[in-house]
Structure 1
Amino acid sequence: MSTPKSPDPAKLVISLFMNDQSIVQRVLALLEEKFGSIDMISPWFDFDYTNYYHREMGSPLFRRVVVFKALVAQDSLAEIKISTNNIEAMWKENGKRAVNIDPGYLVKSRFILATGKDFAHRVYIGQGIYADLTLMYQKGRFIDLDWTYPDYRGNAIKSFLEIVRAKYCLDFNKERSLP
């Protein structure tokens, strides 16, 4: 018999992509207001794996990944996604978004993204939100799954997430060893 226990807290990771990079500081300020201090920010990545968003958001699109200092409960992901949807809506004009905000979390073994879209590999977590197991960490690296989004298959984002994971593990181990 398994004995239920609370899962480890997770590192909040939020991906932003947009056409107009000049709005990023204002969006980051709103995210910091909601989720606290930023711990790490990725360099800009080209978001050129699909043209799915071009009609709505224009092109070219650019991505930045933001990591927050405070750890979050894994079961708070649906609430976090609702909050980021509300921030996205603040940047919507004539039905078109200026920014796409995709929250997720990272723990030692995996990287999860939140989505409002159901699919066979996604698990419903409440409030109309699903958890998408995007990457698994095995044998010293993040590995793709059959359904991993093309941009998360790329070495640039995976390399950044490996740095985030290393820092998470270091900080988590320090916190656990405190008296």
Structure 2
Amino acid sequence: MGLATHYTKEKLMMGLLFHHLDQAKLAKELTQQHWGSCDYESAIFNFSDHSPYYDKEMNGTVFRQFFSFTALIEPDQLATIKTITNDIEKTFQHNGYRPINLDPGLINTGRLVLATTKNATHRIALQHGIYGELTLFYSRKSWNPFPWTYPDFRSEAVQAVLSDIRNLYRKNIREN
């Protein structure tokens, strides 16, 4: 029989989809009120180039930015974090228009897990109606996708961002 042990803390990262930069900045500030300062902020990508999925809901071209938080967290907190990000998104919503989409995830040395409210065969129930999706795994010095990995997460540019965040995580682990 194996014995349960404490989890190793992981790096909280956030994918932010937005249409207006001023709302994106405010959403990021709201996340920092919950999880502290950020230690990484990516360039802004044109998400609509990868997928028009949110264009109608967000009323135009959609952009994506990634950021990560300085403090490491217990991985069993991911569902609670997604619940809070959903509440943050609701503060921006009006008349069926959702201008902000926050996608929290956890990075460790070997994987990226994203939180979602959508159930699917490859997603694991966490709690509070939230699922965890193993989106990418890290092996042989690179990120590797699954058949279900989102198109933008397959791109070299996004994987370079995730590698930067992974490297910050490795530095955090060494320092602790």
Scaled by the length of structure 2, the TM-score of the pair is 0.96
Distance 1:2 1:12 in 2: 28
**Structure 1 residue 133 displacement after superposition:** 0.3
User: Which residue of the partner structure matches residue 80 of structure 1?
Assistant: 81
Q: How many pairs does the alignment contain?
A: 175
Q: 1:89-140 CA deviation, whole Å, 9 max, x = no partner?
A: 0000102111111101101110000000000010000100000000001011
**Structure 1 residue 34 displacement after superposition:** 1.0
**Structure 1 residue 59 displacement after superposition:** 2.0
User: Which residue of the partner structure matches residue 168 of structure 2?
Assistant: 167
Distance 1:158 1:58 in 2: 27
User: Does the CA contact (< 8 Å) of 2:59 and 2:97 recur in 1?
Assistant: no
Letter in 2 for 1:5: T
**Structure 1 residue 3 displacement after superposition:** 2.4
User: Does the CA contact (< 8 Å) of 2:38 and 2:69 recur in 1?
Assistant: yes
Distance 2:39 2:76 in 1: 21
Partner secondary structure for residue 55 of structure 1: coil
Partner secondary structure for residue 60 of structure 1: coil
Distance 1:60 1:95 in 2: 17
Give every structure 1 segment of 4 or more consecutive aligned residues whose post-TM-superposition deviation is greater than 2 Å.
none
1:116 aligns with 2:117: yes
**Structure 1 residue 26 displacement after superposition:** 1.2
Partner secondary structure for residue 106 of structure 2: strand
User: Which residue of the partner structure matches residue 3 of structure 1?
Assistant: 3
Structure 1 vs Structure 2: percent identity of aligned residues?
34
Letter in 1 for 2:149: T
Letter in 1 for 2:108: V
Distance 2:53 2:167 in 1: 33
> Considering only aligned residues, what root-mean-square deviation do their CA atoms show, in Å?
0.9
User: Which residue of the partner structure matches residue 12 of structure 2?
Assistant: 12
Distance 1:46 1:122 in 2: 27
Letter in 2 for 1:2: G
**Structure 1 residue 2 displacement after superposition:** 2.4
User: Which residue of the partner structure matches residue 71 of structure 1?
Assistant: 72
Distance 2:60 2:156 in 1: 22
User: Does the CA contact (< 8 Å) of 2:58 and 2:97 recur in 1?
Assistant: yes
Q: Which runs of 5+ in 2 are unaligned?
A: none
Letter in 1 for 2:30: L
Distance 1:70 1:174 in 2: 12
Q: 1:1-22 CA deviation, whole Å, 9 max, x = no partner?
A: 3222122101000111111112
User: Does the CA contact (< 8 Å) of 2:41 and 2:68 recur in 1?
Assistant: yes
Q: Where in structure 2 are the equivalents of 1:1-179 lying within 5 Å? A: 1-48=1-48, 49-175=50-176
Distance 1:131 1:168 in 2: 20
Q: Which runs of 5+ in 1 are unaligned?
A: none
Distance 2:147 2:5 in 1: 30
Letter in 2 for 1:158: Q
Range with greater deviation from structure 2 (45-54 or 104-113): 45-54
Scaled by the length of structure 1, the TM-score of the pair is 0.95
